[in-house]
């Protein structure tokens, strides 16, 4: 279960998406996420979905991988859907059981919210799957560089992020191992109420933290041994340079935004088919 989380994992392949400048991917992902909240008509969702599908197809990442990345948010999705379903009071009442009632508006918000969340996660997953964390950090570092002037340690933040990303799979594997080891010693992780379950996690979290600190210590030593001394005077193996494909992507993104916003604004809300 724990290995299913694909956020922060890179899927090596040779696609146009992999070759894009990380700055393009970061800003476009951000714009895409914002765009999801700019329309309300069903057509908007269709276009956003098609755009996402096109990007996934271009990325050559198996759809299976992205679906796997969605699994961990199923719970969150359910909660959002249920809350929206029962707490929105809008339009005709469709079903009514005791004090619970489902209204048309509630159903609509719930379904749309779920789709939005799925698009949101899939959109950001596709970015991390096609961008190596190092490239990602390089992109963030470059995008945030202006903040250096107000003494924000941009390079350090970027480096910390890239290391965190690198260690996610390692620590997940370790969690898996510790869980198995504790189960083998009779730890009960399944039964009891929520509080008991949380308490049962202690024998997993404590060794995990200890090991994470030990790893951090080792890694810091290894980095120093390889002459790491912060961002000053450092050169780049893969410096960021915009190519024509990057400008093209920006153009495509702009076109998508115009279409989606246009639809959100001008296509009337009641073109709603259900």
Partner 1 sequence: MRMIQTEKLVYEYEKRDEEGNIIGSHRAINAVDVHVEPGEFVAILGHNGSGKSTLAKHMNAILTPTEGTMWVNGRDTKEPDNLWEVRQSAGMVFQNPDNQIIGTVVEEDVGFGPENLGVPTEEIWKRVEKSLEAVGMIEYRHHSPNKLSGGQKQRVAIAGVVAMEPKCIVLDEPTAMLDPNGRKEVLRAVEELRRREKVTVILITHYMEEVVDADRVIVMDQGNVVMEGTPREIFSRVEELKKYRLDVPQVTLLAYELQQRGLPLSNGILKTEELVKELCQLH
Residues found near partner 1 in the complex (CB under 8 A): 10, 12, 132-134, 162-163, 165-166, 169-170, 215, 218-219, 221-229, 233-239
Q: How far is the CB of 5 from partner 1 (least distance, A)?
A: 14
Q: Given the complex with partner 1, which of 188 and 224 has the nearer CB atom?
A: 224
Q: How far is the CB of 83 from partner 1 (least distance, A)?
A: 37
Q: Given the complex with partner 1, which of 37 and 228 has the nearer CB atom?
A: 228
Q: How far is the CB of 189 from partner 1 (least distance, A)?
A: 25
Q: Given the complex with partner 1, which of 23 and 108 has the nearer CB atom?
A: 23
Q: Given the complex with partner 1, which of 236 and 265 has the nearer CB atom?
A: 236
Q: How far is the CB of 227 from partner 1 (least distance, A)?
A: 4
* CA atoms of 213 and 185, how far apart (whole Å): 24
Q: How far is the CB of 140 from partner 1 (least distance, A)?
A: 15
Q: How far is the CB of 162 from partner 1 (least distance, A)?
A: 8
Q: How far is the CB of 132 from partner 1 (least distance, A)?
A: 5
Q: Given the complex with partner 1, which of 159 and 204 has the nearer CB atom?
A: 159
Q: Given the complex with partner 1, which of 83 and 167 has the nearer CB atom?
A: 167
* CA atoms of 135 and 241, how far apart (whole Å): 12
| CB burial readout 25-42, b (16+ within 10 A) else e | bbbbbeebbebbeebbbb
* CA atoms of 265 and 250, how far apart (whole Å): 22
Q: Given the complex with partner 1, which of 80 and 175 has the nearer CB atom?
A: 175
């Amino acid at each position: 279960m724990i290995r299913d989380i694909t956020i922060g994992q890179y899927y090596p392949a040779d696609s146009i998406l992999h070759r894009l400048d990380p700055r393009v991917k970061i800003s476009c992902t951000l714009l895409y996420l914002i765009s999801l909240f700019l329309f309300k008509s069903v057509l908007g969702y269709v276009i956003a979905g098609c755009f996402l599908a096109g990007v996934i197809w271009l990325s050559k990442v198996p759809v299976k991988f992205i679906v796997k990345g969605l699994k961990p948010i199923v719970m969150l999705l359910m909660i959002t859907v249920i809350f929206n379903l029962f707490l929105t009071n809008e339009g005709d009442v469709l079903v009514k059981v005791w004090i619970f009632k489902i209204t048309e508006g509630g159903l609509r918000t719930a379904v749309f919210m779920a789709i939005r969340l799925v698009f949101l996660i899939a959109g950001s997953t596709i970015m991390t799957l096609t961008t190596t964390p190092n490239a990602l950090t390089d992109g963030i570092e470059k995008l945030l560089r202006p903040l250096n002037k107000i003494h924000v340690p941009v390079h350090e933040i970027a480096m910390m992020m890239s290391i965190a990303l690198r260690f996610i799979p390692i620590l997940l594997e370790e969690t898996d191992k510790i869980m198995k080891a504790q189960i083998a010693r009779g730890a009960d992780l399944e039964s009891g109420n929520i509080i008991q379950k949380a308490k049962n996690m202690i024998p997993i979290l404590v060794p995990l933290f200890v090991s994470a600190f030990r790893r951090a210590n080792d890694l810091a030593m290894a980095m120093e041994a390889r002459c790491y001394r912060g961002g000053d005077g450092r050169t780049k193996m893969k410096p960021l340079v915009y190519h024509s494909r990057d400008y093209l992507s920006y153009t495509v993104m702009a076109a998508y935004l115009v279409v989606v916003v246009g639809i959100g604004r001008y296509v009337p809300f009641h073109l709603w088919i259900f």
